[in-house]
Structure 1
Amino acid sequence: MKSKQEHWDEIFSAKQDTELGWYEDDLSQTLNLLNNIAISASSTLFLAGAGTSKLVDELLKTKAKLLVNDISAKALEQLSQRLDTSQCQYLHHDLSQSFDESFAVDVWIDRAVLHFLLTEEQITHYFDNLKNTVKCGGYVLLAEFSSTGATHCAGLTVHRYSTDEMQKRLGDKFELIESNEYVFVNPFQQEMPYIYALFKRTI
C-alpha cells in the first residue's frame, strides 16, 4: 500500500498544474477573506498544503514570511524551483501527526488539506498542531469540502465539514469572523461545493 507521500508525489509527478482537480486560476475567494487581516512584512503565514498553488505567488506580494508546507516532496521541489525566493521556508510535515518542531504563526491557511484526514486521531493531531502554532490574535482560514460537497477527491475519501464542526474542533479560544459557501468549478468544469471559514484566536 502506498504511503500518503507516495500517493501525492505520484500525482504531482504525473500531471501539470492545470490538470489537477483542485487547480485554481481564480484565487479571489481566499484572497477576499484574507483582506480581513492586516498582513504585513512582520507577519508569518503558514500554508498547510501549498502544493504548487499560485496562491503562494499572491501571498509573496504581502512581503510576509511564508512557511510553505506540503506532504509531497515533489510538490515542494516544483514550487521552490518556480519561485526561487528566500521569502519562503519549505516544510515537509504530515499534519495528521504531531509536529517535531515548534514555531508561531499569525495566519494558518488551509485549502483542502484537513478534509483528507479521516480518523479521529488524525483530525485531533491536526487541530492540536494548529492550536499550538497560531498566536493569540492570529487567524485561521479553513476551506474544505462542505457537507454537500464531494465524498472523494484525488482517489481518496474525504471528510466533509460544516462551520459548526470547525468551530467545535477549534474550541472557545477561536471566534468565527466570516464564513461562506462557495462552489469551486475545477478545470474539468465539475462543481465542487466548499465551505470557507475565517476564525480569529482571541485567547
Structure 2
Amino acid sequence: MQDRGKDHWDTVYSEKSQSQLSWHQDDPTASVKLCTLAGITPATSVIDIGGGRSPLAAQLVDKGLKDITVLDISRVALEKAREAMGGNAARITWTVADITRWTPTRTYDIWHDRAVFHFLTVTADQEAYLARMKRALGSGGHAIIATFAPDGPETCSGLPVMRYSPDSLSERLGPGYTRLADRAIRHETPWGSAQSFQFSLFRRLA
C-alpha cells in the first residue's frame, strides 16, 4: 500500500499492528495463483510494488525464487517486514521509493501490485506509474494488478481511491498489454467486513 504521502504511510505502519490494517491478509492466495499462472520458476524475477507488510515475498522465497524486490514508500513498513522475515530477509532487495518518482535500473519478469495503483487518483501520477511499469517490464513480462472493484470501497486509510473493473483497468493500461486472466476477490478485513477487489494478469506486448 502506498501513496505519495510518505509521512501518512509511515504513521499508519508505526501506529497500527497487522490486525488493524484493513488490507492485511495472512495468505496472499490470489496473488500466488496468478504468479503461478504467469509461469514462475526459481529463476523468475519479481518486484512487489507497495509490498509493505505483505507476506507475498516470504511465500515466493519458500517457492525457491531468488530474485525478489519489495518496493514501498514507507521505510517503517519495510523495516517491520524485514523483522518479520528473520534470516530470509537477506534474500530480498528492499527499496524505499515513491513509485511515481522511482527510476527503474533493470527489468523484471513479474510486476506485482496489490492495491497501490488505485490510490493514484490524479492522471499525471497514473501516467508516471505506467511509465515506470513499462520501463521495468521486458517484452513478454507479466503484470499483476489488484485494485478495488467497482463495488469496492471509495476510500481506504482515509484516502480516496479509484475503482476498476478488469475492462476499465485494461483500457487504462492501454494497447501495450493483453489481459490473460482476471479474478473477482472478496477480501475479508481482520475485523470481518468484506471488500471487493479485482485482480488482473497482463502480459506486456513487444
Normalised to the residue count of structure 1, the TM-score between the two structures is 0.93
- Quote the Cα distance in structure 1 between the aligned partners of 2:16 and 2:135: 35
Unaligned runs of 5+ in 2: none
Name the residue aligned to 2:93.
Answer: 89
Q: Which moved more, 1:108-117 or 1:84-93?
A: 84-93
Q: Which moved more, 1:120-129 or 1:28-37?
A: 28-37
Count of residue pairs the alignment pairs up: 200
Deviations 1:101-148 (A, max 9, x none): 421000000001111111000011011110111111110001100111
Q: Secondary structure at the match of 1:183?
A: strand
- Quote the Cα distance in structure 1 between the aligned partners of 2:168 and 2:127: 13
Name the residue aligned to 1:155.
Answer: 158
Would you say the 8 A contact 1:96–1:117 is kept in 2? no
Q: How does 1:18-29 map to 2 (within 5 A)?
A: 18-29=19-30
Would you say the 8 A contact 2:10–2:77 is kept in 1? yes
Name the residue aligned to 1:7.
Answer: 8
Cα RMSD, aligned residues only: 1.4
Deviations 1:150-186 (A, max 9, x none): 0010111111112122212322221111011111111
- Quote the Cα distance in structure 2 between the aligned partners of 1:116 and 1:58: 25
Are 2:105 and 1:102 aligned?
yes
Q: How does 1:41-120 map to 2 (within 5 A)?
A: 41-64=42-65, 65-83=67-85, 84=87, 85-97=89-101, 99-120=102-123
Would you say the 8 A contact 2:140–2:205 is kept in 1? yes
Unaligned runs of 5+ in 1: none
Q: Secondary structure at the match of 1:86?
A: helix
- Quote the Cα distance in structure 2 between the aligned partners of 1:19 and 1:112: 17
- Quote the Cα distance in structure 2 between the aligned partners of 1:112 and 1:153: 10
Deviations 1:44-81 (A, max 9, x none): 10000111111221111233211110010100111122
How many percent of aligned residue pairs carry the same amino acid?
28
Would you say the 8 A contact 1:183–1:194 is kept in 2? yes
Q: Secondary structure at the match of 1:21?
A: coil
